[in-house]
Structure 1
Amino acid sequence: MIKEERLLNKFLEYVQIDSESLNEKEMMETLIKDMKELGMEVSTDNTGEKVGSNGTNVYGYLKGDLDIEPILFSCHMDTVTPGNGIKPVIKDGIICSSKDTILGGDDKSGIVSILEAIRTIKENNISHGPIEIVFTVCEEIGLKGSKNADYSKIKSRQAFILDSGGDVGKVIIKAPAQDKINVKINGKAAHAGVAPEEGISAIQVAAEAINNMKLLRIDEETTANVGIIEGGKATNIVCPELKIMAEARSLNKDKLKKQTEHMVECFNKAAEKFGVTVDIDVIHSYDPVNLDVEDEIVKTVKIACDKIGVTFEPAASGGGSDANVFNGNGIKSVNLATGMAKVHTTEEFITVENLNNTAKLVYEIMLRK
């Protein structure tokens, strides 16, 4: 029942709207207009002001005629760079850009599929339960839209996020929580050739700390990494200051806490050994997604996959998405694949078949039969 030509045309329209992170206003205004035309109650919040975007999060609510719990569908409106002036091209059933930009299927393939599913329901007068939508800003620069969302506006306790690569049918049911660890080691400068003994090398302190850390693959659920080290002024100066950016991830909150504390302890012990101070800032980025195939929300996806004839593929991801943030706010969430491929590159593409299947999958989930 999905009108595939309409779906495709809307997708081509959406990807040609510039909406790099912090510049989502035009995309937001277009979606508000389209949502209102579908008879949805639409509202916004002040997230844009908080994060410095000219757009903000958009909330939609469609009343249902079935007395069942509401469900939420969500995508982000922003794209990575280069995402301005996108010119989509279709060849042999594949949609890509003209190769000077990304395509923007991340995440507009999800957006267009959600709205097409609702159009189909509305124009065919199909019974359904209450449906909610949240379109977020600034996902690509740290999940800022979902982190600052107004959760008092959301009634649903289950959410379907459409923001994963892979063929339609893949569903992310496990994704780790993350802590970021930002460190500044305060050493002491000295001339490295004349009086090195008068200095304390921040680099040496860092080396001591990192050498004693458990890093990379900790166990099947946990990883850790030191990713960025910045410091030093010249080879003839004992390094007085070093900045380090590290992270830990785990599907298990207790394991994440333990790993983060271990890394912090290593920095503190090294600083104590060399007689310097260290400034440490731990930022909890997001909570985990850790569901089971027997969870009701996952079963709902499987039933929908079976109905449209695609392979149901529960999967784990090593990265975070808005699904992590929604889960952390008490909304059980999964992340659905839309078929987008080679995202964040100028080689990004999506097949027309996957675009159609995404809309069909969303439609079946909305009906929940």
Structure 2
Amino acid sequence: MVNRDRMVNEFLELVRIDSLSLKERQMCDTLKQKLKALGYEPVEDNAGQKLGGQCGNVICTVKGNKAVPAVLITAHMDTVVPGTGKKPVIDGDIIKSDGTTILGGDDGAGIAIILETLKLIREQNIEHGDIQVAFTIAEEIGLLGAKHMDFSKIYAKYGFVLDSDGKIGCAAVKAPSQNKINAVVKGKAAHAGMEPENGISAFSIMSDAISSMKLGRIDEETTANIGIIQGGVATNIVCDRVIINAEARSRNAEKLQAQTEHMRECFQKAAEKWGGQVEFTSENEYPAFNIEADAQIIKIMQKAADDSGFTFEAVTTGGGSDTNIINSKGIQAVDLSVGMTKVHSVNEQISITDMENAVVFLISILKNIN
């Protein structure tokens, strides 16, 4: 069913394109050309202008020949670093990087699978409802493309994001909300050798706060992490300022708020103890989503898996994706596995067979929309 060689060649072409976040111009133009070659009319929204990037999201509607609800299928155009000068290597059924960069299967695989799906439904005259395609920018730096996407052009009832790991047939149906946390700890500078007692170490305040903080896995729904610490200018100066970037995540809104407040209190108590100050801010990066087991989109995927010989599995993820944003817009959406592994590393790889199977599963989903 799938044209394996065509799909592989297109995937290799895509991953060789440099497409770092907010620098997706070449990828954007390439995808618009490919969609036009299929006879469609893609449009580019103004998300890039809002974000200071090179291009916007690509949105394209493929009109159907079947009176069923429209679906949105998406993948993101950007990659993480090191993502410049990527050289994919084929080793049997596996496509991997040459070990110096990422592969770019996250999310070049999702894009290639969508393009092959569009070609097959045309070539094989497969009946389907309206299909809306969106290739987003800046997903890797905070789902920014999806956040600024022109949803006035989207009327789909269901959404399928092709941006997850796991076996084919898996779909992430639950994901957490994330609070982005920033703390600026302020102490008092002094000469570290001559009069350290006249200083207040911001590092001491920070260490006290973090040592009393619940971090890592809080419970099955909640996590928290200190990610970046910046501070100090010299060893002979008592550090008077430290900046901490952190996060808290939970699928439960009350737990997310409680964890965020706990982290705030730890910083404030430590600052008071040492005689310093702290500026603490938190901002919600994206909302949680939770697709119930009896939802129609679940039934669609279960039937599609049965029809195409896969085992459907609804999974919970601890990460965020464009799926979070799409659900927040009232579109019932899930994140489908494309088989990617070891993502965000120079060991990233993907199975060609998994990509083929992902196309088969996606086409089966489109056939089962009702």
Question: TM-score range, shorter-chain basis?
Answer: over 0.9
- Output the CA distance in 1 between the equivalents of 2:230 and 2:88: 40
SS of equivalent to 1:245:
strand
Per the alignment, residue 11 of structure 1 pairs with 11
Which moves more between the two structures, 97-106 or 250-259? Answer: 97-106
Counterparts in 2 of 1:85 and 1:207: CA distance versus 1, 3 Å? closer
Counterparts in 2 of 1:232 and 1:88: CA distance versus 1, 3 Å? closer
- Output the CA distance in 1 between the equivalents of 2:226 and 2:85: 36
Aligned: 1:44 with 2:44: yes
Per the alignment, residue 237 of structure 1 pairs with 237
- Output the CA distance in 1 between the equivalents of 2:265 and 2:134: 40
Per the alignment, residue 311 of structure 2 pairs with 311
- Structure 2 runs not aligned, ≥5 long: none
Counterparts in 2 of 1:234 and 1:167: CA distance versus 1, 3 Å? same
Letter in 2 for 1:291: I
User: Are 1:213 and 1:266, in contact at CA under 8 Å, matched by a contact in 2?
Assistant: yes
TM-score, scaled to structure 2:
0.92
Letter in 2 for 1:211: S
- Structure 1 runs not aligned, ≥5 long: none
Per the alignment, residue 173 of structure 1 pairs with 173
- Output the CA distance in 2 between the equivalents of 1:308 and 1:207: 54
SS of equivalent to 1:67:
coil
Residue 248 of structure 1, CA deviation? 0.7
Counterparts in 2 of 1:235 and 1:27: CA distance versus 1, 3 Å? closer
Per the alignment, residue 364 of structure 1 pairs with 364
- Output the CA distance in 2 between the equivalents of 1:98 and 1:329: 39
Which moves more between the two structures, 171-180 or 84-93? Answer: 84-93
SS of equivalent to 2:73:
strand
- Output the CA distance in 2 between the equivalents of 1:262 and 1:363: 46
Aligned: 1:133 with 2:128: no
Which moves more between the two structures, 173-182 or 337-346? Answer: 337-346
Per the alignment, residue 33 of structure 1 pairs with 33
User: Are 1:298 and 1:334, in contact at CA under 8 Å, matched by a contact in 2?
Assistant: no
- Output the CA distance in 1 between the equivalents of 2:215 and 2:262: 10
User: Are 1:132 and 1:154, in contact at CA under 8 Å, matched by a contact in 2?
Assistant: yes
- Output the CA distance in 2 between the equivalents of 1:198 and 1:100: 49
Query: Mapping of 1:90-129 within 5 angstroms?
Result: 90-129=90-129
Counterparts in 2 of 1:266 and 1:91: CA distance versus 1, 3 Å? closer
User: Are 2:46 and 2:55, in contact at CA under 8 Å, matched by a contact in 1?
Assistant: no
- Output the CA distance in 1 between the equivalents of 2:206 and 2:351: 48
- Output the CA distance in 2 between the equivalents of 1:68 and 1:348: 38
Residue 212 of structure 1, CA deviation? 3.2
Per the alignment, residue 246 of structure 1 pairs with 246
Post-superposition CA distance 1:245-272 (Å, at most 9, x none): 2211101112101111221122223333
Aligned: 1:353 with 2:357: no
User: Are 1:46 and 1:56, in contact at CA under 8 Å, matched by a contact in 2?
Assistant: yes
Residue 281 of structure 1, CA deviation? 2.1
Letter in 2 for 1:284: N
- Output the CA distance in 2 between the equivalents of 1:224 and 1:104: 27
Counterparts in 2 of 1:352 and 1:214: CA distance versus 1, 3 Å? closer
- Output the CA distance in 2 between the equivalents of 1:38 and 1:283: 42
Per the alignment, residue 148 of structure 1 pairs with 148
Which moves more between the two structures, 265-274 or 181-190? Answer: 265-274
Per the alignment, residue 53 of structure 1 pairs with 53
Counterparts in 2 of 1:82 and 1:215: CA distance versus 1, 3 Å? closer
Per the alignment, residue 159 of structure 2 pairs with 159
- Output the CA distance in 2 between the equivalents of 1:208 and 1:102: 37
SS of equivalent to 2:42:
strand
- Output the CA distance in 2 between the equivalents of 1:133 and 1:96: 26
Letter in 1 for 2:230: E
Which moves more between the two structures, 321-330 or 247-256? Answer: 321-330
Which moves more between the two structures, 161-170 or 45-54? Answer: 45-54
Per the alignment, residue 183 of structure 1 pairs with 183
Letter in 2 for 1:24: E
Post-superposition CA distance 1:217-249 (Å, at most 9, x none): 222211112233222233443221111122111
- Output the CA distance in 2 between the equivalents of 1:227 and 1:252: 22
Residue 60 of structure 1, CA deviation? 0.9
Residue 292 of structure 1, CA deviation? 3.1
- Output the CA distance in 1 between the equivalents of 2:348 and 2:308: 25
Letter in 2 for 1:180: K
Counterparts in 2 of 1:296 and 1:76: CA distance versus 1, 3 Å? same
- Output the CA distance in 2 between the equivalents of 1:76 and 1:271: 42
SS of equivalent to 2:190:
coil
Aligned: 1:78 with 2:78: yes
TM-score, scaled to structure 1:
0.93
User: Are 1:39 and 1:62, in contact at CA under 8 Å, matched by a contact in 2?
Assistant: no
